[in-house]
Every structure is written in structure tokens, then in C-alpha cells.
Amino acid sequence: MSRAEDIRAAALELFTDRGYRATTMADIGAAVGIRGPSLYKHVVSKQALLAQIMATTMENLLDLHHAAIATTVDPAERLRRATEAHVRYHARHHAEAFVGNREIRSLEQPHRSEVLKKRAAYESGFRNLISAGIAARRFDVTSARLASYAILDLGMGVAVWFRDDGELTEDAVVWEYGELALRIVGAHTAPRPGGP
């Protein structure tokens, strides 16, 4: 890893363990063996580190989402693949998910608005997939928005409890949560006859 990556990894670990407010730049420097002013050669501020961690997390999720849905046009398969990418990311990135959820209040402007904009775009991606499935008469759900929130919560919850050495493998969890997402939207294997 580069020095910048070392600093980011140390900050992420400290923000996870202690919280953003309780972590100092001196703590981050000590974790990577850099003292005082030398740390500022590599990073502007603690706030910039938090913003980078949170923005990068959302950019990674958006990239994974787009890659997942680009591989098929079938509404149910697109939702399954998007959900699987979402769940897999959260199974592998506990700390990023934890900091992203807990420390949004610690982000200052304009960072907070930028991260919230990315979050909204990510949720809209799921909502649009569900709306397309409803329009194609493949999904039977009243609210695409609520269904998208429920599916997003699936992945975020995985970050809390999933462990590599646990009872279920990552692949098993990813597959099962894909199934759950399709149940949430009332997916049908073929378009339902009639209706809007």
C-alpha cells in the first residue's frame, strides 16, 4: 500500500473503533508511524479523510451496481444481481459500512451534501429497477421506494453480523439475499397477463 492508503486504512480502523470525534490526527499519525506536521504532507485534515472514505464507499457501490445490471435486461435478474453486488460489498467491507452509517452526521458541508447525493443516486438505482419490473408486470409491490429501502437494509444488516468464519459462506448469504429481494418485490417468472 502507498502511504496515503496506509493513512486511510488507519483512519478507517480508528473511526470504526473510537468514532470520528474521539480520533485525533495524532492518533492516525501514530498508527502509521508519522509524527505531527509530517502527516499533513499526505492528508489535508481528519475531515478530508472521513469525506474520502465515505465518498469512495459510495462510488464503489455505484460502480458495482452499474456493472451488475449491465449484464442482463431481465428485470428480475437485474434486481437479483444488483442485490447480490450490494450484499457482497457489505459482507466484505464491515468498517466502511459502519463508518458510513454512523458518521454521516460528522461530515461537514460540502462533503455531507456530496455523499448524500451519491446515496440518493444509489437508492434511485434500486428504485428504478423495481419500477421497471412493475411496469413490465414482473413485480407485484405497492411502493418501489419502500421496496428499495428494504433491499438496501438487507445489505447494510449483513455488514453488522456477517463473519468469514461464520456458519454461512459469503456466497450462500449473497444468493439467499438475492432470493429475498425478489420476494420483497413479489417477482414473477413471466409477465402477468393484463393489468397496467
Please give the Cα distance from 160 to 157 (Å, whole number).
Answer: 5
Give tens-digit pLDDT for 18-55.
999 999 999 999 999 998 678 888 889 999 999 999 99
Read off the pLDDT of each residue in 154-182 and give the average, rounded to a whole number. 95
Read off the pLDDT of each residue in 166-193 and give the average, rounded to a whole number. 90
Residue 157 host element (H or E)? helix 144-161
Q: What does pLDDT average to over the chain?
A: 93
Q: What angle do CA 124, 176, 172 make, to 5 degrees?
A: 120
Burial class of residue 153 (count of CB atoms within 10 Å of its CB; 0-12, 13-18, 19+): exposed
| pLDDT at 195 exceeding the cut of 60 | no
User: pLDDT at position 191, please?
Assistant: 65
User: pLDDT at position 196, please?
Assistant: 46
Q: What angle do CA 5, 1, 54 make, to 5 degrees?
A: 25
Residues above pLDDT 70, as percent of the chain:
95
Residues above pLDDT 90, as percent of the chain:
86
User: pLDDT at position 42, please?
Assistant: 86
Which region holds residue 19: left if phi is over 0, alpha if psi is between -120 and 50, else beta?
left
User: pLDDT at position 49, please?
Assistant: 96
